[in-house]
């Protein structure tokens, strides 16, 4: 099973700041099979990034993804108030696993 | 628009059974794989089960294999999760999710709002 590790566990930032979230896999993951989700309290997760760097329709371009192999990054260029929540990475190349999440909260 | 609506959650005693359902609309259900994902209180996301578009292939996470069974009815646009021998650690919000991209090797584009399962005596 591919295990995903996310860091940091919590990121305390102010609106307008840049957020950099890391996801590390225990084995190499094809770039095509890595996704990021956002979840706000009381809501279902929402797909943010797939194929490591592609955004679904409607996702703002301040969200970007990068990486390859075992190391992937989600960057939020300038935090908006609505961006605070928990972010999960997921791999779906070998079964399906999620990382433990990174909470982005207001500093 | 795509809609997934889960139902069937509730409070159940350990060892008992519960059946969850997910009603789908707004897309061609019969060509879409369907997943169940759960989230224990205050915890992260855990993939539970997958059923292929035609119901021929089913996959489970290790902790539920042999106890849970996923099924679908393409004539009614519904997917179900039969949960037997429930354990306290099965308590969670259960989400159904799908991709419209055909193959199940795709991200979970659409999610329902979830149904809560509590396992307690």
Residue A9 CB coordination number (10 Å): 9
pLDDT digits (tens, 9 = 90+) for B16-48: 999 999 999 999 999 999 999 999 999 999 999
Q: Which helix (H) or strand (E) holds B23?
A: strand B18-25
What distance separates the 2 farthest-apart alpha carbons in chain B?
Answer: 42
A98 and B45 within 8 Å at the Cβ level: the answer is yes
Q: Which of A96, A97, A98 to mutate to test the interface with B (most CBs of B within 10 A)?
A: A96
Residues 6+ apart with CB under 8 A from A26: A2, A3, A4, A5, A70
Chain-wide mean pLDDT for chain A? 95
pLDDT digits (tens, 9 = 90+) for A59-78: 999 999 999 999 999 999 99
Give the pLDDT band (50/70/90) at residue A51. Answer: confident
Q: Which of B59, B61, B111 minimises the CB distance to A45? A: B111
Residue A85 sits at the chain B interface (C-beta within 8 Å):
no
Give the CB-side neighbour count of residue B118, counting CA atoms within 13 A: 4
| pLDDT value, residue B101 | 84
The yes-or-no verdict on residue A52 having pLDDT over 80 is no
Residues 6+ apart with CB under 8 A from A10: A102, A103, A104, A105
Q: Which residues of chain B have pLDDT under 70?
A: none
């Amino acid at each position: 099973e591919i295990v995903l590790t996310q860091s940091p566990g919590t990121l305390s930032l102010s609106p307008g700041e840049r957020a950099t979230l890391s996801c590390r896999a225990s084995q190499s993951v094809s770039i095509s099979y890595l996704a990021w989700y956002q979840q706000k309290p009381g809501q279902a997760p929402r797909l943010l990034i797939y194929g490591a760097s592609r955004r679904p329709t409607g996702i703002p371009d301040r969200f970007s993804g990068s990486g390859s192999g075992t190391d992937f990054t989600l960057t939020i260029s300038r935090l908006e108030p609505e961006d605070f929540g928990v972010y999960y990475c997921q791999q779906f190349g070998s079964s399906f696993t999620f990382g433990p999440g990174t909470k982005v909260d207001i500093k | 628009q795509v809609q997934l609506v889960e139902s069937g959650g509730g409070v159940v005693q350990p060892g008992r059974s519960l059946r969850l359902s997910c009603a789908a609309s707004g897309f061609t259900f019969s060509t879409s794989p369907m997943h169940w994902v759960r989230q224990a209180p205050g915890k992260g996301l855990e993939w539970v089960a997958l059923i292929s578009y035609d119901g021929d292939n089913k996959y489970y996470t290790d902790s539920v294999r042999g106890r849970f069974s996923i099924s679908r009815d393409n004539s009614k646009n519904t997917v179900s999760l039969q949960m037997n021998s429930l354990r306290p650690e099965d308590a969670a919000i259960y989400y159904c999710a799908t991709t419209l991209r055909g193959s199940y090797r795709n991200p979970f584009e659409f999610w329902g709002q979830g149904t809560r399962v509590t396992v307690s005596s």
